[in-house]
Amino acid sequence: MGEGFARVRLFDKTIDTYSILKERIMAETADELTIDYEENGVLTTKQLDKVILSKGAWVTILFRYQTWDKAKQTYSEDKYTIRRFQKRDGQYIPRSKFNITNAKQAKLIVETLERWMK
C-alpha cells in the first residue's frame, strides 16, 4: 500500500483508500466507471463487459469480469458483480457491491428472477 493511504472500513469491508481514490479520480460519468484494476503492471481484475442498470445520483452497474490467478498465470472463469456508486462533488464514489462468483450462482439468480417475473 502506498505511503499516505490508510485502511478504512466501508460497508463492513476493509478497503484500501487508494482503491477508492483511484475509482473517484477516473469516473466523472457512469460510462467511465470500470472495475479494471492493475497491480505491479498486471491487470489483476479485467472487466469484460458492463450494463448500466440505473443512472442518476446513484448508479447501479452489472459487471462481467475475470481475476488474474498468479499461481496458474491465467485468468479465472467469468465472474459477475453488481456495484452501486453515488455521485458526490462531480465524482462517483463506490458505495456497495454484490459479487456473483461462479456461473452456477449466476444461473440460479437468473432462473429465480425469471420465475418471479411470470
The three grid cell numbers given for residue 109, joined into one nine-digit string: 439468480
The vertex-51 CA angle with 99 and 13, nearest 5°, equals 25
Rounded CA-CA distance 23/17 in Å is 10
Least confident of 16-20, 76-80, 113-117: 16-20
For 60-95, how does the pLDDT look when each residue is reduced to its tens digit (9 = 90+)? 999 999 999 999 999 999 999 999 999 999 999 999
* CB neighbourhood size of 45 (10 A): 19
- Indicate if the pLDDT at residue 18 is higher than 90: no
> For the stretch 54-87, what's the b/e string if a residue is b when 16 or more beta carbons lie within 10 angstroms of its beta carbon?
eeeeebbbebbbbebeeeeeebeeebbbbbbbeb
pLDDT value, residue 25: 46
Q: Which sequence spans correspond to the domains of the chain?
A: 7-117
**Which residue matches cell numbers 481514490?**
21
pTM: 0.76
pLDDT value, residue 27: 77
